[in-house]
Amino acid sequence: MLRRTFLIGGLTASGGFLLGIPAVKALAQVDPAGASGKIGFFVEIQPDNRVVIGAAQPEIGQGVRTSMPMLVAEELDVDWANVTVRQMPLGIVKTADGYTWKYGGQGAGGSTAVTNNWDFLREVGATARQMLINAAAAQWNVESASCRTEPGEVVCDTLGKRIRYSALAEQAATLPVPEEKPVLKSPSDYRIIGKPTGVVDIREIVTGKSRFGIDTDVSGMRYAVIQRSPYLDGTVKSFDDSKARKVPGVLDVFAIEGPAPGEPYLVLASGVAVVATSTWAAMQGRKALKIEWDKGPHQQESTESFWRQAEELLSGSGQVVRDDGDLDGMLRQARKVVTARYEIPFVNHAPMEPQNCFVHVDQDKARVIAPTQSPSGASRAIAAVTGLSREHIDVEMTRVGGGFGRRLTNDYVAEAAMISQKIGTAVKLQWSREDDVKHDFYRPSGLHEMKAGLDASGTITGWTQRLASAGKYYRRPNVTPEEQYAAELYVDDFPAQIIENLRIEWFEIQSGMPRGSWRAPAHTANAFVVQSFIDEIAHASGQDPLQLRLKLYGESRALPYGQHGGPTFNPWRLSRLLEHVARRIDYAAVRPAGRAVGVASHFTFGGYAAHAVELEVSSKGTLNIERIVAAVDCGVAVNPLGVEAQLEGGTIDGLSTALNLKITVSDGQVVQSNFHNYRVARMAQMPAVLETHVLPFGDKPTGMGEMGLPSIAPALANAIYNACGVRIRKLPLRDQLKKAFA
């Protein structure tokens, strides 16, 4: 592996051993305080034999601060109880043709951290272990091959000797990093991988000591808030700051330039910034502003106009993005044709920690402390605002109070940079909850038209999905109009390649709503649509919905899968999970009227999940979710406790969103503003029982951040239909259930 060639060993000031990748500075120049203090190294053996392992990825609640260091610790062969984990900063290195990673890729998106670092981090651990073995062998004057390790020690059985890693650190640090790829452990020898492991920094969390971005406090920093245009792509026409400037603590007020309509976003909106000596003073200053807005190009836009546009588009013909076999012929011959339309609303990410960012632009360099899913995006945002070269921009990462895709976009980092540059000092920008709900890169909204043709035996012979949507690639640089569909329709998804005659068609809705990646992006919409429609087909043709799925998924085989999560997809892995959840929920049991079970399953970014839901709908339409059984196959579960947490969290996120959530637009403005009208689920909506099952497969892990989410919404809708006969085709479910029983 190429990245291994960058590994370098060295000595800490306190006599410990480091294994890191200081590709910029020679080791002798490494600041010892920096090395032993907080940054830049994957492995540090301390004199007391404790081990510090660096975590390079942003921790947004997906558990990588625990699971990534587990990979290093496993191959280094140390006791997990002796490990301390430290967050590493962004590491980028300037090369002749741009920038490359110093510590491997860093980012939280697409459920990729475990998959991408599985080999790399185990090799880091194994390399360090080999260097410690080599040091012991040299000391004992034996071959390295005659030595082995036990946690924290090198052992030579022939000599009957053992020595702690810490006693070898000084010598190991002087040895060259082995050229050859290290030998990795066999899974049967794992002591850490596969063992349920608690959140590594949980004590800091439950005692209030964890540092999130919002907790950043740097001496002399200012506090800022921004009043952004409530109108999509609206701009500041004029503003009166006379009252704002009189608020005690307010230091400065100035306009923030927004993006030009249709152009890529650096920041989300035009607005007016208020800088003060405290957050509250800045907020009070903002309240006192009088701003006249130019309402911009979308002031007529509303949710109603959006759906009208979708309907009009679907009455015409769109961009065919997949066309297998002879769909039209099959539909003509079909004994039965089933059609349905499904509506997916915009939704807000609403991470619990509102957006915030600390930036200090200081002449020829900048320091950033940001809760971000994309630290390199933060570095690019600062460079774009300031013109600074990226190697002079230090990005520190904090624990992140939720991401869900929102913090893949660093607009708030760019805003903070604009403010710091303008005032010439350090600033912490704080968004309010209202700012966050009203200014987001929302999950795209769309109208899906589905049609399936069946033959006399009930076999699906033709299938088409026509989607009119406002896609998330809107205003992305370097994406052509013909490529817009690719973010909303993953053309190799089930049932492509299984139903031979299949067409997928795309229509782009024009909208001023900013759109972006929302946890499991298009899978949340497509799983709801496809897995609801499969049930509709089953009911229309007198088949059992579970059996119909099992028949379609078929034998274990690798189907080519060209989108993220490929290169293959094995539909049988969904069958295995479905049968498991069906058994656990007692699928075939006869239940009293009003109570029923629904199932669904989905393949997301390389991982497989299935849900079974048992619920009751009263004669008045009151929904009571009794029990959810969720199962996931993410290959090897590096940390089963973390995998279960992600499956629980994904299920509840999916449930909360499907039941309750939508963002609507009126007069070119987002209607919702805070948790009173954007009603994220609370404890009261939880099912009495939530069971999670992790079914292992093969010898490689896939990520877990997103796959627990997509199949819960259709399982709920399918169970509701089975319980009361109401088929819900529009999200959120609760609104529609209410309507049906009104």
Say whether residue 278 binds another protein (CB under 8 A): yes
**Among residues 67, 72, 189, which one has the least CA distance to residue 643?**
67
3-state SS assignment for residue 131: helix
In terms of residues, how long is the chain? 742
Residue 164, beta-bridge partner list? 153
Would you give the DSSP letter of residue 88? -
Q: What's the closest the beta carbon of residue 635 comes to another protein, in angstroms? A: 21
Q: What's the closest the beta carbon of residue 406 comes to another protein, in angstroms?
A: 11
Q: Which position among 44, 123, 215, 343 is part of the footprint of another protein (CB under 8 A)?
A: 215
Cis amide leading into 182 (omega within 30): no
Rounded to the nearest 10°, the torsion over CA 138, 142, 144, 149 is -90
Give how many residues touch another protein by CB under 8 A.
Answer: 65
Nearer to another protein, 686 or 694 (CB): 686
Interface residue with another protein among 212, 254, 307, 741 (CB under 8 A) is 212
Query: Among residues 356 and 543, whose Cβ is nearest to another protein?
Result: 356
Residues 6 or more apart from 465 whose CB is under 8 A from it? Answer: 448, 449, 450, 489, 503, 504, 505, 529, 530
Which member of 260, 304, 688, 739 binds another protein (CB under 8 A)?
A: 688
Q: Pick between residue 353 and residue 493 the one whose CB is nearest to another protein.
A: 353
Beta carbon of residue 115, minimum distance to another protein (angstroms, whole number): 20
705: enclosing H helix or E strand? none
Angle between helices 521-540 and 545-553 (to 10 degrees): 120
The CA–CA distances, whole Å, from 391 to 20, 351, 602 equal 18, 30, 42
243 near another protein, rule: CB under 8 A: no
Alpha-carbon distance 506 to 526, whole Å? 13
Least distance between another protein and beta carbon 209 (Å): 7
What is the token pair recorded at 647? 């499956």
Among 98, 160, 176, 208, binds another protein (CB under 8 A): 208
Q: For residue 594, report the phi and psi dihedrals to the nearest 5 degrees.
A: 90, -10
Judged by CB, which is closer to another protein: 31, or 217?
Answer: 217
Say whether residue 682 binds another protein (CB under 8 A): yes
- Specify the 3-state DSSP secondary structure of 141: coil
Residue 353 sits in the site that holds another protein (CB under 8 A): yes
Q: How far is the CB of 741 from another protein (least distance, A)?
A: 23
Q: Which of these ranges, 238-246, 399-407, 464-472, 660-668, lies near another protein under the rule CB under 8 A?
A: 399-407
**Strands, sheet with 689-694, edge to edge from the N-terminal-most edge strand:** 595-604, 607-617, 623-633, 689-694
Hey, which residues between 43 and 62 contact another protein (CB under 8 A)?
A: 59-62
Q: Is 69 in the site for another protein (CB under 8 A)?
A: no
Q: Residue 501 or residue 639: which is nearer to another protein going by CB?
A: 639
Interface pick for another protein out of 402, 565, 606, 714 (rule CB under 8 A): 402
Q: Which of 158, 240, 308, 675 binds another protein (CB under 8 A)?
A: 675
Binding mask 641-660 for another protein (x = CB under 8 A): x---xx-xxxxxx-xx----
198 is an interface residue for another protein by CB under 8 A = yes
Minimum separation from the CB atom of position 464 to another protein (A): 34
Show the 3-state SS of 563-613: CCCCCEECCHHHHHHHHHHHHHHCCCCCCCCCEEEEEEEEEECCEEEEEEE
Stretch that binds another protein, among 362-370, 428-436, 458-466, 521-529 (CB under 8 A): 428-436
Query: If binding is defined by CB under 8 A, does position 218 make contact with another protein?
Result: no
φ, ψ dihedrals at 90, nearest 5° = -65, 135
Vertex 97 angle, CA 93 and 99, to 5°: 25
Task: State yes or no: residue 354 binds another protein (CB under 8 A).
Answer: yes
350 or 447: CB nearest another protein: 350
In whole angstroms, what is the distance from residue 325 CA to residue 451 CA? 15
223 binds another protein (CB under 8 A): yes
From 119, 156, 518, 233, select the one nearest 349 (Cα to Cα).
518
Matching residue, tokens 């968004």:
431
| 251 touches another protein by CB under 8 A | no
Q: Which is nearer to another protein, 27 or 690 (CB)?
A: 690
284 is an interface residue for another protein by CB under 8 A: yes
Binding flags for another protein, 563-602, as an x/- string (CB under 8 A): ----------------------------------------
Smallest CA-to-CA distance from 442 within 311, 345, 342 is with 345
Positions in the binding site for another protein (CB under 8 A): 59-63, 198-199, 202-203, 205-212, 214-215, 217, 223, 248-249, 278-281, 284, 350-354, 399-404, 430, 432-434, 641, 645-646, 648-653, 655-656, 674-676, 680-684, 686, 688, 690
